[in-house]
Amino acid sequence: MTACPRCSNTNATVFHEGKEGEELIWTLFGCPDCHYHWRDSEPEESINPAKRKAVFQMDTSNPDRYHLILPVRE
Amino acid sequence: MNKQSEISIEVAKKVGSLRDFLDLLESKGQFITWPDEVMPEPDIRNILVAAGDDDKNGPAILFDKIKGYPGKRMVAGVHGSFSNIATLLGYPLGTPIRDLFYDIVGRWTTEAPQLPRIAPDKAPIHEVRIEENFNLFDLLPLYRINAMDGGFYIGKANVVSRDPHDPDNFGKQNVGIYRIQPHGPDTFTLMSVPVHDMGRHMLAAEMDDVPLKIAVMLGNHPAMAMFAATPIGYDESEYAYAAGMMGAPIALTESGNGLDIQAEGEMVIEAEYIHGERQYEGPFGEFPGSYSGVRRAPVFKITGISHRKNPIFENIYIGKGWTEHDTLIGLNTSAPIYAVLKKEFPEVEAVNALYQHGLTAIISVKNRFAGFAKSVALRALGTPHGLVYLKNLIMVDADVDPFDLNQVMWALSVRTRASDIQVLDNMAGIMIDPAAVIPGMGHHLIIDATTHMAPEPIGGDVEIVRRPAGQEIDDLSQIIKSMQKEARK
Ligand SMILES: [Zn+2]
């Protein structure tokens, strides 16, 4: 259970681990709810919810507030 | 007719692929390999911003020591400076932008394109084939281009799709540059709106419930990267156009899912459109230098991948300018506007639409009579690109080089009056202009900085100094430069 820095849901999973030999360099996570991806080695402005600018946070409970790029056929 | 020079054809014949072009750039000192280990973030971003600051001479940069991606290679800045563009077109480093503009205008053709076919089993792009267990995050050294991007974007892919209603038509096969956000190990979103050819293909496939297969090409021929973004007719082929512009062959082969792809590209990701599925996409730092926000975008599922051995992942830095994106598309944004105008107004000398995809542009024109330049400006606003992109338009005389901003500023300083400024409000605009009150709407501003002529009132002290120019002056500048070099020793 890993919390997403963007939508704060806790369903994120590991997508990839960056290694040099046996050494783990970073872990890459993906959030299945808001589709944010991040590496735990990134600067805090990208991955720390407390440091991220509020306007970039997401609320996935209300999808309709996000513009649909191509209309979906009924 | 393609009016390109013999030298440029010789150069073009040597460049069949991204790798060939990197070799050529290296021979000119325009390609470097970053010597140190880098973290995906923020190191790659920082280095590419620093390289992009030098729009005249910045090099392409290859990274092959990206921490956590051992053995993987990534290159950016391939089109990052005008010297790199000059190299592709067969000109010396430091060639003035105006000369490159006239070169591209002179090449405007799709006559007799050379598109040789290579059998898939002989094509370098199919050297390594993957048919299962796809993981984009493992396969490509992905990284966050700008700090608040919603994902690790692929910003320089050429995407091929066919018209689902006319799948055998080569011309209607579209190749375009669309931003791609990997979503899962084997899924990604692709940003295309209904006015794009690709958007039309998606809507048509959904409407008739037929599959839409696409090929995402990475590490492309440098002419494809430049010309796939050029607005051409719906039934014109971008391959034919790019090969025609280069006057040299671009080899094609077939992807695993039956599309025409570049035989010597680095990688092709084959995918199928998932009907009706939309997922969150963005934000993404776009060419106006602002983030386009979160949208719900169409989703594709990977069905196969081919790549060359030890592939190079080519990406781009895009964001607040100057960036590679500006250099990549600038001249190909300017040339079609010029081509349309020149047909109806032979007095048009040059078009500089380098700034933010033409949000600000400068057109030089021989003024025939008072008010003439304003009419030319209005015609420019009626070109396909001008409709929404040409927001601020500056008209200058033929004695002003629109690519030399010192000269443009001179014209603005001494050739404008209040009556030369016109604002057309509530017009169509681009969706992602951060200044727009309503996205998709905005103003067109015309500043007529051409000389006033009768029957307009003429002011006092209007005689302009004849500034000496030509070969004699050019030779003298060279002499002064070498004297200065001596003096610095
Ligand atoms: Zn999330």
**CATH numbers and ranges of domains, chain B:** 3-314 (2.30.110.10), 345-454 (3.40.1670.10)
Query: ipTM of this model?
Result: 0.97
- What pLDDT score was predicted for residue A9? 95
pLDDT tier at B109, thresholds 50, 70, 90:
low
B70 lies within 8 A of chain A by CB? yes
Q: What are the sequence ranges of the domains in chain A?
A: 13-65
Q: Do B350 and B338 contact (CB within 8 A), yes or no?
A: yes
Is pLDDT of B130 > 90?
Answer: yes
Phi-psi region of A51 (alpha: psi -120 to 50; beta: other; left: phi over 0): alpha
Q: What tokens appear for B385 in the block?
A: 């690109």
Quote the percentage of chain B above a pLDDT of 70: 97
Give residue for tokens 């598109």: B115
- What pLDDT score was predicted for residue A70? 84
In chain A, which residue's Cα lies nearest the Cα of B207?
A73
Exposure b/e, A44-63, CB count within 10 A at least 16 = b: eebbeeeebeeebebebeee
- What pLDDT score was predicted for residue B231? 64
- What pLDDT score was predicted for residue B244? 87
Q: What is the 3-state composition of chain B as percent helix, strand, coil, each rounded to the nearest 5?
A: 30, 25, 45
Among A45-54, B107-116, B190-199, B273-282, name the one with the lowest average pLDDT: B107-116
- What pLDDT score was predicted for residue B422? 97
- What pLDDT score was predicted for residue A74? 61
- What pLDDT score was predicted for residue B289? 96
- What pLDDT score was predicted for residue B9? 86
Cα B400–chain centre separation: 25
Please report the residues numbered 1 through 60 in chain A whose beta carbons come closer than 8 angstroms to any beta carbon of chain B: 6, 15-21, 25-26, 28, 30, 34-39, 41-43, 45-46, 52-53, 56, 58, 60
Among B8-22, B236-250, B326-340, name the one with the lowest average pLDDT: B236-250
When pLDDT is averaged across residues B440-457 and rounded to a whole number, the result is 95
pLDDT tier at B197, thresholds 50, 70, 90:
confident
A68 lies within 8 A of chain B by CB? yes
- What pLDDT score was predicted for residue B254? 96
pLDDT tier at A18, thresholds 50, 70, 90:
very high
Is pLDDT of B51 > 60?
Answer: yes
When pLDDT is averaged across residues B169-181 and rounded to a whole number, the result is 86
| Nearest partner of B447 among B367, B362, B340, judged by Cα | B362
Among A35-49, B240-254, B337-351, name the one with the lowest average pLDDT: B240-254
Instruction: Please list every residue in chain B whose beta carbon sits closer than 8 Å to the beta carbon of residue A37.
Output: 137, 151-152, 182
| Nearest partner of B231 among B177, B155, B168, judged by Cα | B177
Separation CA B436–CA B358 (nearest Å):
16
Instruction: Please list every residue in chain B whose beta carbon sits closer than 8 Å to the beta carbon of residue A66.
Output: 280, 293-296
B193 lies within 8 A of chain A by CB? yes
CB-side neighbour CA atoms (13 Å) of B134: 22
pLDDT tier at B460, thresholds 50, 70, 90:
confident
B4-40: per-residue pLDDT in tens?
778 888 889 999 999 999 999 999 999 999 999 999 9
Average pLDDT, chain B: 93
For residue B2, the CA-to-ligand 1 centroid distance in Å is 52
B363-411: per-residue pLDDT in tens?
999 999 999 999 999 999 999 899 999 999 999 999 999 999 999 999 9
- What pLDDT score was predicted for residue B2? 57
- What pLDDT score was predicted for residue B1? 45
- What pLDDT score was predicted for residue B107? 84
Is pLDDT of A57 > 70?
Answer: yes
Separation CA B138–CA B122 (nearest Å):
26
Model-level pTM?
0.94
When pLDDT is averaged across residues B457-464 and rounded to a whole number, the result is 90
pLDDT tier at B476, thresholds 50, 70, 90:
very high
B67 and A28 within 8 Å at the Cβ level: the answer is no
In chain A, which residue's Cα lies nearest the Cα of B183?
A35
Task: Note the residue count of chain A.
Answer: 74
When pLDDT is averaged across residues B108-130 and rounded to a whole number, the result is 88
When pLDDT is averaged across residues B469-488 and rounded to a whole number, the result is 96
Q: Do B44 and B38 contact (CB within 8 A), yes or no?
A: yes
